[in-house]
């Protein structure tokens, strides 16, 4: 039915099958939009956040998806600035993932603030000392860059290419891709860092507060490195997942290896930096503000295991796996390590958001807990559904993996021709 929209040379499932795949995601999206609508219309009393737990599931989600979406800027940086040509195979997919992650995060932020219609105030009355101002500016600008980067991919659609104007526009836009990659890299470095800085500057929260360099706390740099490290891992994970679901070979093994190696290298740098930062925090920063670091881990369930899990289980272990060529060569090890790395960044963002707010500061304070309401979970699921849908439609109608056609041809050549007796 929709064959004329699908690029030549690409095999895609039948329309009914595709509709069967997207239907549950649309249902989930509708449920989530309803939940978000309740929050917008009736107010944030629909959530389980309160005056003490001012941030919750949504901020955790925002921080995590923005870190995972870092693959878009970092792959662009590696391909267009550092000229790692092999990554051309995944750049389109990375851009779609980035667009989904960032637009999803911005949409949730709009629900999360009490007065969404005042969002423009940040641009009109910016407090240049606030990390949130930096985040708002950079995310908005970078989302625009991602939308522009998505345009050439969209305009390569078989049907849209029939419009000559679109072809010319796409060609001209493509010439600027290096500029956008550079701008995107700059903006991304800054807002990934600012997201870390959000917590590092909280001098009233000794668990989160960090010393740093000039106006940037150490979390500024840790967030940049961790995002750059897991971005390629998330591309490995999503590409592998798409290959499994569609039962197609989409990129060559070398691309997986390269992404794994880059992720492993950066992850090991992150683990080292995080370890040094933790030691400084335990021995100097926290005691200097009147709090022994050990007391943060007296409150269950947040024992020292969480620090161990963050640095060793979800940091050092995947880093070592990804750095070892023998393990990296095996898809199961590579994907498992990539999944561990992604889980690690999610855990780190959870610790920054939830543990920071759960811990008491005053001597007569209590440890607090928080469970998100169904409206919060629904909105969270809407972002997941939205991401799957945008990616599914993009995969079906656009060329997300330029090597797919070649790989398909190569697979066909390798397949033995059936011998038909008496054919000639």
Partner 1 sequence: MTRYGMTIDVDRCTGCGACMVACAVENNIPPAHEGATDRTGLTWIRVFKVGQAFVPMLCQQCGEETPCVSVCPQKAVEVDPATGIVGQMPERCLGCRYCMAACPYHARYFNWHDPAWPPGMEKTLNPDVAPRMRGVVEKCNFCHGRWHAAKQQAVAEGRDPAHVEYTPACVEACPTKAIRFGDLATLPKPPGSVRLLESLGTEPKIYYRSSKVDLRAGKEPSRG
Positions that interact with partner 1 (CB under 8 A): 43-45, 49-55, 112-115, 118-119, 121-122, 124-127, 129-133, 136, 198, 201-206, 287, 289-292, 295, 298, 356-357, 360-365
Nearer to partner 1, 287 or 325 (CB): 287
Cβ at position 52, least distance to partner 1 in Å: 5
Nearer to partner 1, 331 or 366 (CB): 366
Peptide linkage before 301 cis (omega within 30 of 0): yes
The pair of structure tokens assigned to 260 is: 């794994």
Nearer to partner 1, 101 or 201 (CB): 201
Nearer to partner 1, 4 or 129 (CB): 129
Cβ at position 223, least distance to partner 1 in Å: 16
Cβ at position 130, least distance to partner 1 in Å: 5
Cβ at position 54, least distance to partner 1 in Å: 4
Cβ at position 244, least distance to partner 1 in Å: 39
Nearer to partner 1, 129 or 300 (CB): 129
Q: Position of tokens 């990296």?
A: 328
Nearer to partner 1, 289 or 330 (CB): 289
Cβ at position 203, least distance to partner 1 in Å: 6
Cβ at position 122, least distance to partner 1 in Å: 5
The pair of structure tokens assigned to 368 is: 């607090």
Contact indicator for 221, 270 with CB cutoff of 8 Å: no
Contact indicator for 76, 94 with CB cutoff of 8 Å: yes
Nearer to partner 1, 190 or 240 (CB): 190
Contact indicator for 194, 135 with CB cutoff of 8 Å: yes
Ramachandran area for residue 247 (φ above 0: left; ψ -120 to 50: alpha; else beta):
left
Cβ at position 22, least distance to partner 1 in Å: 34
Nearer to partner 1, 53 or 80 (CB): 53
For 26, 47, 112, 116, 380, the CA distances from 31, given in Å and listed in that order, are: 9, 16, 17, 21, 11
Contact indicator for 87, 72 with CB cutoff of 8 Å: no
């Amino acid at each position: 039915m929709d064959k004329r929209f699908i690029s030549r040379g690409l095999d895609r499932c039948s329309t009914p099958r595709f509709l069967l795949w997207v239907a549950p995601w649309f249902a989930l999206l509708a449920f989530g939009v309803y939940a978000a609508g309740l929050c917008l219309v009736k107010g944030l009393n629909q959530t389980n956040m309160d005056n003490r737990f001012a941030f919750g599931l949504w901020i955790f989600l925002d921080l995590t998806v923005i870190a995972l979406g870092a693959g878009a800027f970092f792959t662009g940086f590696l391909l267009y600035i550092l000229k790692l040509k092999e990554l051309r195979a995944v750049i389109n997919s990375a851009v779609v993932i980035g667009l989904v992650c960032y637009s999803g995060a911005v949409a949730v932020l709009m629900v999360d603030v009490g007065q969404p219609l005042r969002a423009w105030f940040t641009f009109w009355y910016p407090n240049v000392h606030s990390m949130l101002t930096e985040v708002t500016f950079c995310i908005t600008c970078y989302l625009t860059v991602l939308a522009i980067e998505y345009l050439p991919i969209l305009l390569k659609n078989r049907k849209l290419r029939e419009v000559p104007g679109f072809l010319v526009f796409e060609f001209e836009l493509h010439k600027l891709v290096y500029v956008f990659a550079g701008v995107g890299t700059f903006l991304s470095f800054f807002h990934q860092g600012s997201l870390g800085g959000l917590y590092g500057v909280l001098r009233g929260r000794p668990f989160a507060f960090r010393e740093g360099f000039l106006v940037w706390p150490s979390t500024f740099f840790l967030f940049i490195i961790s995002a750059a490290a897991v971005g390629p891992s998330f591309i490995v994970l999503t590409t592998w997942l798409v290959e499994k679901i569609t039962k197609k070979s989409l990129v060559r093994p070398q691309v997986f290896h390269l992404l794994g190696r880059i992720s492993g290298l950066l992850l090991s740098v992150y683990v080292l930096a995080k370890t040094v930062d933790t030691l400084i925090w335990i021995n100097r920063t926290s005691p200097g503000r009147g709090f022994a670091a050990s007391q943060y881990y007296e409150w269950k369930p947040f024992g020292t295991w969480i620090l161990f899990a963050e640095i060793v289980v979800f940091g050092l272990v995947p880093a070592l796996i990804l750095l070892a060529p023998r393990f990296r060569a095996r898809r199961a090890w590579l994907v498992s390590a990539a999944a561990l790395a992604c889980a690690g960044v999610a855990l780190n963002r959870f610790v920054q958001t939830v543990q920071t707010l759960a811990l008491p500061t005053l001597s007569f304070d209590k440890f607090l807990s928080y469970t998100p309401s169904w409206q919060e979970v629904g909105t969270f699921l809407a972002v997941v559904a939205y991401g799957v849908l945008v990616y599914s439609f993009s995969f079906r109608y656009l060329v997300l993996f330029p090597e797919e056609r070649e790989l398909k041809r190569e697979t066909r050549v390798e397949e033995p021709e059936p011998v038909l007796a008496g054919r000639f």
